[in-house]
Amino acid sequence: MLKHFDKCDVVFLDPDNGMGPASAQHATQDEIELLGLKGKRPVAFIKFPGRENHETQVAKLHARFAPAGMVTVRTRIQINGTPRIVWLSVLNPTDAIRAAVSDFADRFNLVDDAEAKIH
């Protein structure tokens, strides 16, 4: 599988369904690890939070991929009074990607009823 991504500077996985169990709809932790840790390139993916405490989930996610380094931005926005929470994580982030994530979070935090937090 890695040979298909040899010329990619960044790989963005599964923007609709995020990371999850093995299926055609999700990128698995093993797939992300293969592309990021063995492929040595930035890999961006979405994680929809589960019912477990969010800080705990982020800590587990970062621990899993610790050898490569990771940055996660967690966003929350109110839509019709209901909070919508989505995370974007990048494995093997470059300095430029870290700066872009920080800039995004700063701008997102200017939106009414919105919050972005970097982990």
Of residues 44, 62, 111, the one with CA closest to residue 84: 111
Q: Please give the average per-residue pLDDT across 3-25, as a whole number.
A: 72
pTM score, whole prediction: 0.79
Q: Please give the average per-residue pLDDT across 39-50, as a whole number.
A: 73
Domain ranges (residues) in the chain = 13-118
Give the model's confidence band at 44: pLDDT under 50 very low, under 70 low, under 90 confident, else very high. Answer: confident
Does position 15 have pLDDT exceeding 70, yes or no?
Answer: no
Of residues 15, 19, 16, 48, the one with CA closest to residue 31: 19
Q: Please give the average per-residue pLDDT across 39-68, as a whole number.
A: 79
Q: What is the pLDDT of residues 63-103, one digit of tens each?
A: 988 878 899 998 999 888 888 888 888 988 989 999 999 99
